[in-house]
Structure 1
Amino acid sequence: MITWRAGVVEQVGTSWQGATELTVALDQPWADPTLPARVKSLAYPALVGSLERGRRVWVNVSALARGLGTGGYALVIAPADGQPADPPPSPGHLVKARYTPLQAMVLGVDDQESEHHDTMRDADDLDGLPVVVADLHSALPAIVAGARLAAERAGRAVPSIAYVMTDGGALPAWFSRSVAGLRDAGWISTCITAGQAFGGDLETVSVHTALLAARHVAGADLAVVVQGPGNLGTGTRWGFSGVAAGEAINAAAVLGGRPVASLRVSGADPRERHLGISHHSLTAYGKVALVPADVVVPVFDPAEPGLGPLSARVREQAAVLVEPEGRHRLVEVPAGPDVWHALTTSPVRLSTMGRGLDQDPSAFLAAAVAGVHAVALLDQPAR
């Protein structure tokens, strides 16, 4: 059941594409007196309308009450002092967040009313499009940084990168400040929301149609498939939303793309199952992915404290994924000082599980080298 609260908007804060931060003073106190009477809240104007200071609102505080990681936000459900104006008539019949109180109707890229319907109706092949897959949203800016570095090294144009956001984490793309910042900086050309996710530049029914839209509508040079922020996990092998990374590998391959597996790596996570290559990567790519992919293993700079020994651990763990023991292809890519420098140029904050580049460099370096390899594939004939 949802934990509801009503309150008054005291302050309208920062906005980015699709989202606005508010400070809401709650009417009803918490049973736990340590919880705040004023809460940072997030509103999506496309769902609840524009909200000004003094407006009364209903907010969902369930995650705050349980201390879960929603970015510290209460979420605005609706105005409490009158309904928003009806939206203007518009085409499209794809319903996302289906059969929830906040289900939204959007225009799908392959909708009959879409200008791209004819293109998508006949689309069936990615024509060798490199597709980088990762399981954590925090990998996205690092992958893009690596791709841009590889283009610079090769003296080629910066690649056009489409981000495909799957629905394992946040459903609204508007929740991600990384997506907004990367788009504003020109680091990604388009955001495509797949499945129940919504709010992208293009809306699609499945990862398959999202990838086809990346190639045939957005004209991307490469695609990155990662769930939105706020993944769900239970500390078990299969109870993690990121295992869908293996299904994305399958989708890329069946459509004639070139799947690239970005490994989730950490040298700082205190949990043994996440040290080196996370067990989630081993499950997604070793158990769920049923077709060969390029597994990109970072070769860390031995001069960097702690990274040299980690290289050996990661290489040993990756052996179960790649030939001859596994089905995938081993690709080793140096993760040297230039890759680190490329990461420092990111227009958005690098953070994974609360750790930044300095606290856990291996996490971001491992993602970046997957982007480096994806750009190298652009100059190789498709298999």
Structure 2
Amino acid sequence: MIAHRRGWPGVASLQVEVLGADGAPETVRALAYTELVGTPEIGETVDLNTNALRRGLGTGGDAIVVSRRDAAPPAEPIRGHMMKMRYTPVQTMVDALDDPASEHYTTLTHARDLGGMPVVVADLHSSLAPIVAGILAETPSARIVYVMTDGAALPAAYSRVLATLREEGLVAASISAGQAFGGDLEAVTVHSALLGARHVLEADVAVVIQGPGNLGTGTGWGFSGVQAGDALNAAGVLGGSPIGALRVSEADERARHRGLSHHSATAYGRTTLVPARFPVAAPERRGDWVFHAQVTAQVEQQILSPAAARGLAHELIEVRTDGLLEALRDLPLRLSTMGRDLDEDTAAFLYAALAGRAAAGLIS
């Protein structure tokens, strides 16, 4: 290891010298999750996983430190027996809020429902900040808890967006559910995470999204965001108010993602088993209304109608857009989704913010 770069909470960012394919030394970027391996020192020898780096994956463009040759992993006092990333070489033990050894165990044992708490669910991690902006644009005092599922990145620390939202006080806390780890609290399931958000962290709103690194194949069901439907189901069966943030795009080159993405159509129209709300832009007299009308029609045809055929009454709700672009621009971070920023694909962020505003209107 030859140099430190600027990291963020939970992540040490490094420059590491490795041997390239031709045997010559080269310098690569690497990330070390401090919860797992601590912070490597200059001059140390580290073992790296370079799979994503070598393949040039968009999200995984760094090597990952697996171990440090001359340093023991950090020892943390763990009361419980909850293991995440189970039976892998990097399995890690955590204190889960629903573990019998947890100080929150009694609360979780007696928690029965969410008491109507709004739960916003999205497909892409890039929706997190816009959803938060939409909530706070309507209700600045709202207490927001993020539940990170295990569909994509497993370490919560990997998300610089979450780190910034936490540092700025825009998100009160995070809970990593399933095999995901590294949140302020840990939970065995999304259900426990939602109950913890409500009864332990006293959330007004919970936002449930996978971490960075959505995996898609171009097939109908082969995408990690399909679990968004499962998250809505969890919110519904626990007595919350499920809200589906729509994945839309004005700029995606792939036809299946322009307008309403097939990811939203599948996860919400075919996977969801509880009634949920789906916010769209309220009609306005302006030039881009043609696009919004198209999205509304797609939601009716691809989400509401298939659900109705199964006896399920989803609700399309129209939400005003005024002030949301300003709220998005005021966020203390750069918005990006699939490599596009706010100006390049405004609708992608606007529809996430609409879901946030809709949730704020349901806070009791």
TM beyond 0.5: yes
The amino acid of 2:41's aligned partner reads: E
The amino acid of 2:50's aligned partner reads: V
Report which stretch shifted further, 90-99 or 64-73.
64-73
TM-score (norm 2): 0.95
Check if 1:13 corresponds to 2:2: no
Correspondence for 1:312: 293
Q: CA deviation at 1:15?
A: 2.2
Tell me, yes or no, if the aligned pair for 1:300 and 1:335 is still in contact at 8 Å: no
Correspondence for 1:29: 20
1:221 to 195, 204, 214: 204
Correspondence for 1:352: 337
Question: What SS class does the counterpart of residue 3 from structure 2 fall into?
Answer: strand
2:354 to 369, 373, 376: 369
Question: What SS class does the counterpart of residue 15 from structure 1 fall into?
Answer: coil
Correspondence for 2:320: 334
Check if 1:282 corresponds to 2:252: no
Correspondence for 1:119: 107
Q: Compared with structure 1, are the counterparts of its residues 347 and 354 closer, same or farther at alpha carbon in structure 2 (3 Å cutoff)?
A: same
Identity level (%): 51
Tell me, yes or no, if the aligned pair for 1:295 and 1:322 is still in contact at 8 Å: no
| Structure 1 Cα separation of the partners of residues 66 and 285 of structure 2 | 51
Tell me, yes or no, if the aligned pair for 1:64 and 1:70 is still in contact at 8 Å: no
Q: CA deviation at 1:31?
A: 5.5
Question: What SS class does the counterpart of residue 231 from structure 1 fall into?
Answer: coil
Correspondence for 2:91: 103
Question: What SS class does the counterpart of residue 268 from structure 2 fall into?
Answer: helix
| Structure 2 Cα separation of the partners of residues 85 and 225 of structure 1 | 31
Tell me, yes or no, if the aligned pair for 1:295 and 1:329 is still in contact at 8 Å: yes
Tell me, yes or no, if the aligned pair for 1:20 and 1:43 is still in contact at 8 Å: yes
| Structure 2 Cα separation of the partners of residues 260 and 49 of structure 1 | 38
Q: Compared with structure 1, are the counterparts of its residues 302 and 54 closer, same or farther at alpha carbon in structure 2 (3 Å cutoff)?
A: farther
| Structure 2 Cα separation of the partners of residues 161 and 329 of structure 1 | 23
TM-score (norm 1): 0.90
The amino acid of 1:311's aligned partner reads: H
Q: CA deviation at 1:335?
A: 2.1
Tell me, yes or no, if the aligned pair for 2:31 and 2:62 is still in contact at 8 Å: yes
| Structure 1 Cα separation of the partners of residues 224 and 315 of structure 2 | 24
Tell me, yes or no, if the aligned pair for 2:78 and 2:93 is still in contact at 8 Å: no
The amino acid of 2:20's aligned partner reads: P
Correspondence for 1:273: 256
Question: What SS class does the counterpart of residue 100 from structure 2 fall into?
Answer: coil
The amino acid of 2:244's aligned partner reads: A
Report which stretch shifted further, 85-94 or 358-367.
85-94
Q: Compared with structure 1, are the counterparts of its residues 357 and 88 closer, same or farther at alpha carbon in structure 2 (3 Å cutoff)?
A: closer
Q: CA deviation at 1:327?
A: 3.1
| Structure 1 Cα separation of the partners of residues 281 and 83 of structure 2 | 40
Correspondence for 2:68: 79
Unaligned runs of 5+ in 2: none
The amino acid of 1:228's aligned partner reads: G
Question: What SS class does the counterpart of residue 139 from structure 2 fall into?
Answer: helix
Q: Compared with structure 1, are the counterparts of its residues 212 and 53 closer, same or farther at alpha carbon in structure 2 (3 Å cutoff)?
A: same
Q: CA deviation at 1:86?
A: 5.4
| Structure 2 Cα separation of the partners of residues 79 and 70 of structure 1 | 24
| Structure 2 Cα separation of the partners of residues 131 and 229 of structure 1 | 19
The amino acid of 1:205's aligned partner reads: V
The amino acid of 1:346's aligned partner reads: L
**Per-residue CA shift, 1:201-220, capped at 9, x if unaligned?**
01000000000000000000
Q: CA deviation at 1:308?
A: 2.4
Tell me, yes or no, if the aligned pair for 1:23 and 1:40 is still in contact at 8 Å: yes
Question: What SS class does the counterpart of residue 2 from structure 2 fall into?
Answer: strand
1:322 to 290, 301, 304: 304
**Per-residue CA shift, 1:111-150, capped at 9, x if unaligned?**
1111111001111200001000000000000000000011
Q: CA deviation at 1:74?
A: 0.6
| Structure 1 Cα separation of the partners of residues 48 and 279 of structure 2 | 43
| Structure 2 Cα separation of the partners of residues 252 and 362 of structure 1 | 26
Question: What SS class does the counterpart of residue 138 from structure 1 fall into?
Answer: helix
Unaligned runs of 5+ in 1: 1-8, 153-157
1:192 to 169, 172, 175: 175
| Structure 2 Cα separation of the partners of residues 343 and 89 of structure 1 | 40
Q: Compared with structure 1, are the counterparts of its residues 297 and 31 closer, same or farther at alpha carbon in structure 2 (3 Å cutoff)?
A: farther
Correspondence for 2:27: 38
Tell me, yes or no, if the aligned pair for 1:97 and 1:197 is still in contact at 8 Å: yes
Q: CA deviation at 1:297?
A: 1.2
Q: Compared with structure 1, are the counterparts of its residues 329 and 73 closer, same or farther at alpha carbon in structure 2 (3 Å cutoff)?
A: same
Q: Compared with structure 1, are the counterparts of its residues 122 and 286 closer, same or farther at alpha carbon in structure 2 (3 Å cutoff)?
A: same
**Per-residue CA shift, 1:218-270, capped at 9, x if unaligned?**
00001000000001111111000000000001000000000001000100001
Check if 1:65 corresponds to 2:54: yes
| Structure 1 Cα separation of the partners of residues 284 and 61 of structure 2 | 36
